[in-house]
A and B are shown apart, each in its own frame.
Chain A
Amino acid sequence: MNCRLAPFFILILGFVFFTGCGDGRPKRYPIQGVVTVDGQPLSGDFVGSIRLIPVAGGRPASAQLDSEGKFTLGCYDAEDGCPAGEYKVEVSVSEQKNFKMRYLVPPRYWDADKSGLTVTVEGKNPSLTIDVKWEPQDAKYRKMVINMNE
Chain B
Amino acid sequence: MRRTAFTLVELLVVIAIIGMLVGLLLPAVQQAREAARRMQCSNNEKNLVLALLNHESANKSFPPARMGGDGTLPNGNTQPGDQRYGSSAFLQCLPQLEQQALYQQLNDGKIFPAVSDSTTSSWTQVKNTATPLLITRPSVFVCPSSTAPPTLESNANYATGTYACCAGTHGPSDSGGPISFKVKYENDGVFFYWRRIQQSEIKDGTSQTIFLSEVTDAEKAGSQNTWFQGSRHLDCFRTTDNPLNTKYEQGVVCNMYGYKASGAFASEHTGGAFFAFGDGHVVFLSESIDLKEVYRPLSTRAGNEAVNGEY
Contacts and interface: CB of A to CB of B under 8 A. Distances in A.
Interface string A65-101: 0000000001011100000000000101010100101
A59 B288 contact: yes
Contacts of B72: 149
Nearest to A98: B256
A110 B173 contact: yes
Contacts, number: 80
Most buried by A among B176, B252, B287: B252
B290 A57 contact: yes
A59 B287 contact: yes
Contacts of B253: 47, 49, 64
B252 A53 contact: no
Contacts of B255: 47, 96
Contact of B179 (A53, A62, A77, A150): A150
B290 A101 contact: no
A78 B174 CA distance: 21
B247 interface: yes
B176 A49 contact: no
B252 A49 contact: yes
Interface bracket on A: 20 to 34
A101 B179 CA distance: 10
A126 interface: no
Contacts of A77: 247, 250
B291 A74 contact: no
Interface string B243-258: 1011101111101100
B34 interface: no
B176 A53 contact: no
A67 to B, nearest CB: 13
Interface string B215-230: 0000000000000000
A18 to B, nearest CB: 15
Interface string B269-283: 001000000000000
Contact of A62 (B249, B251, B256, B260): B251
Contacts of A111: 175
A104 B260 CA distance: 19
Contacts of A57: 290, 292-294
Interface in B178-211: 178-181, 184
Interface string B41-62: 0000000000000000000000
A74 B250 contact: yes
A112 to B, nearest CB: 8
Contacts of A59: 243, 287-291
Contacts of B250: 62, 64, 74, 77-78
B168 to A, nearest CB: 15
B214 interface: no
A110 B241 CA distance: 12
A25 interface: yes
Nearest to B286: A59
A48 to B, nearest CB: 9
B138 interface: no
Contact of A53 (B174, B256, B288, B292): B292
Contacts of B173: 49, 51, 90, 92, 110
Contacts of B251: 49, 51, 62
A139 interface: no
Given A64-B252, A149-B71, 14 more contacts: A25-B288, A47-B253, A49-B252, A49-B253, A59-B289, A60-B243, A76-B245, A76-B287, A111-B175, A146-B176, A146-B180, A149-B179, A150-B70, A150-B71
11 contacts: A51-B252, A57-B294, A59-B290, A62-B250, A76-B245, A77-B250, A90-B173, A92-B173, A110-B174, A148-B256, A149-B184
